[in-house]
Structure 1
Amino acid sequence: MSVHLWLGFLAVTCVVALSPGPGAVLSMSIGLRHGYWHALRGILGLQTALVLQMALVFAGLGAVLAASEHAFVLLKLAGAMYLVWLGVQKWRASIGEEGQEPADAPVPGGFYRQGVLVNLGNPKAIVFIAALVPQFIDASAPRPLQFLVMVATMCSIDILVMSGYAVLASRFRRVAGSDRAVRLQNRVFGGLFISAGLLLAGTSRG
């Protein structure tokens, strides 16, 4: 991949990463409730899914998903239901003493798993990557090296952007620790997850 192609890919990656989506909602939700280091687990989960999506595209399976209406719909509905489920769980999370939420307490691997499932459940992301990546592939250069460069670029930018969302949200933890504030957070982020799920359910491949 030439420097010119890479700069173009970098610019597009920045625009995509900065566009708010379920990943940003997840990062802010965990950051606000549990702090950045817990949010980082979810962010790393998002990147794991992104690497898998890129691998599918390079293996040619992204084109299959883009062409198969049934596969797209099944994956889309699964992802939408998971986002709605997350939203309902967040909305209904109980409030304990000193603003603690037993239903939303940090669980080893839990936030990481959420990150993986949130990104993997979005088939439109795979279709988008399948349409985007070929425009920046240099046919005369080794594909494995280009795959590594693209994955490193996308993951690095996404980690920076999601970390920014999480850190910004975590700054409000001190003023958002009361029972009333926690309950409001649950309602807001629960509603955002449910809305994201419903929007995903209504999307098409185009």
Structure 2
Amino acid sequence: MHIHVWITFLLASIVLSVSPGAGAVNTMSNALSHGVRRTLPAILGLQAGLAATIALVGLGLGAAVAASATAFTVIKWAGVAYLIWLGWKKWNGATHFAVAERHVAPPAALALFGQATLVNLTNPKSIVFLVALFPQFIDPALAQGPQVLIMGTTLVLVDIVVMVGYATLAARLRPFVQDPRRMRVANRAFGGLFIGAGALLAGVRHQPA
């Protein structure tokens, strides 16, 4: 991959990662409740889901999902249901910080990792987006495998940096929401965002390839 092509892809990756979505909402919600350090497994979970999506695109399965209305619809509604469920849980979440209560165990790292992985895996829009994006930067005269690997690695690394930034920003608000009433407002705000993301995903229509 030529350097100027990679730089262009890097810029596209930054725009994609910075654009608010379900992953950003998940990251900020976790950071607000648990702090940056305990949010890292969730950020890695998002990258696991993203890496799996990139692998599907690289293997050509992403194109099949993009072309199949049935596959697209199944994944879409699974994602809608999952986001709404996350929203409901957050809406009714605790109004105190678990880290401050000794009798309440903080969420397990594996649970945060798995939850975040599903957030990315159940979003067919990201699959279709990558199917549309990657071919624009692939040189057909060169081996496709290394190019997909370079782009995938770039996208994952950029997303890690952006999500850590989102987490840091949200964690700075923790002192402000120490009061249970403020925490309730924050929970319902993020719960509403999850549900809103689900509603937006529900409105996404399959476009024949």
Shift of 1:177: 1.4
Question: Aligned AA for 1:188?
Answer: A
Question: Aligned AA for 1:17?
Answer: S
Question: Aligned AA for 1:14?
Answer: I
Answer yes or no: is the 8 Å Cα contact 2:27–2:42 preserved in 1.
yes
Name the counterpart of 2:29: 29
Name the counterpart of 1:109: 110
Aligned mates of 1:163, 1:105 — CA distance in 2: 20
Question: Aligned AA for 2:191?
Answer: G
Answer yes or no: is the 8 Å Cα contact 1:42–1:115 preserved in 2.
yes
Aligned mates of 1:139, 1:124 — CA distance in 2: 25
Name the counterpart of 1:148: 149
Shift of 1:16: 0.8
Name the counterpart of 2:78: 78
Aligned mates of 1:142, 1:74 — CA distance in 2: 33
Shift of 1:97: 8.6
Q: TM-score, normalised by structure 1?
A: 0.93
The unaligned stretches of length 5 or more in structure 2 are: none
What is the RMSD computed on CA atoms of the aligned residues?
1.9
Name the counterpart of 1:132: 133
Name the counterpart of 2:121: 120
Q: TM-score, normalised by structure 2?
A: 0.92
Answer yes or no: is the 8 Å Cα contact 2:33–2:174 preserved in 1.
yes
Question: Aligned AA for 2:77?
Answer: L
Corresponding position: 1:88 with 2:88: yes
Answer yes or no: is the 8 Å Cα contact 1:22–1:118 preserved in 2.
yes
Aligned mates of 1:104, 1:19 — CA distance in 2: 33
Name the counterpart of 2:64: 64
Question: Aligned AA for 1:56?
Answer: L
User: How many equivalent pairs are there?
Assistant: 205
